Amino acid sequence: MPQKPAKRPPPCPPPRAGEGREGAPSGRKTRGAARDDNTVITALELPGAELTPAMQAYFDKCTEKLGFIPNVLKAYAFDMPKLEAFVAMYNDLMLAPSGLSKLEREMIAVAVSSRNRCYYCLVAHGAAVRSLADDPVLGELMVMNYRAARLDRRQRAMLDFAVKLTAKPWEIEEVDRNALREAGFTDRDIWDIAAVASFFNMSNRIASASAMRPNSAYHGQKRE
């Protein structure tokens, strides 16, 4: 029974400073071809299952803290074991203690998603970078081309590794790990960089395969 719950911070997507109050955009007029349709989350017809009590509590917490349920969770909600496994892994990777800050993990998420051109993840995690960094520009740089950002050596090495691992995993070798060590990362940090980059290589593909649409609320977050 490996799925025995570990004791850890309440599972929840990254809280974003000062955004819980605004809630889902209610009165926004949708527009033509590109509108986000919050009632159709993916291109796959998968009837929702009944939420387990744990997942119901989790969804309630999301609504309370974010003002909405991230669409990725709704997309997984057709099958509770899949939803629970996704949530457990996501929360461990992105929120549990690590030598990487939460912002750094989100930066990896967006740089990887940019390489994979994943619309869902770029919208949702681009907003996370803007919020966690309190910098509307850094999120854009991660979305568009992380090489154009003026990063310090540590963060640049981190993203170079993550993006090479995304683009050409077969060419990662000891020299790449050593570049991280020389930038100050421990072996445990290297695992975490790799694990976050790898997780988003999974999530990007789930989202692209199912044409997952992000919640509209992300677009306007932390733009000033």
Which of the stretches 13-21, 64-72, 201-209 binds its own copies when contact is defined by CB under 8 A?
Answer: 201-209
Q: With contact defined as beta carbons under 8 Å apart, do 115 and 167 qualify?
A: yes
> What minimum distance in Å lies between the beta carbon of 43 and its own copies?
6
Write out the binding residues for its own copies, residues 96-155 only, by CB under 8 A: 96, 114, 116-119, 122-123, 133-138, 140-141, 143-145, 147-152, 155
Interface with its own copies (CB under 8 A), residue from 8, 13, 20, 132: 8
Half-sphere exposure of 92 (CA within 13 A, CB side): 12
Smallest distance, Å, CB 15 to its own copies? 16
Report CA-CA distances (Å) from 193 to 3, 55, 109, 146: 24, 28, 10, 16
> Taking CB under 8 A as the criterion, which residues in 24-53 touch its own copies?
28, 31-36, 43-46, 52-53
Q: How far apart are CA 156 and CA 24, in angstroms?
A: 34
71 counts as binding its own copies under rule CB under 8 A: no
**Taking the complex as a whole, how short is the minimal distance between the CB of residue 127 and its own copies, in angstroms?**
11
Query: Nearest Cα to 192, choosing from 97, 110, 117, 111?
Result: 97
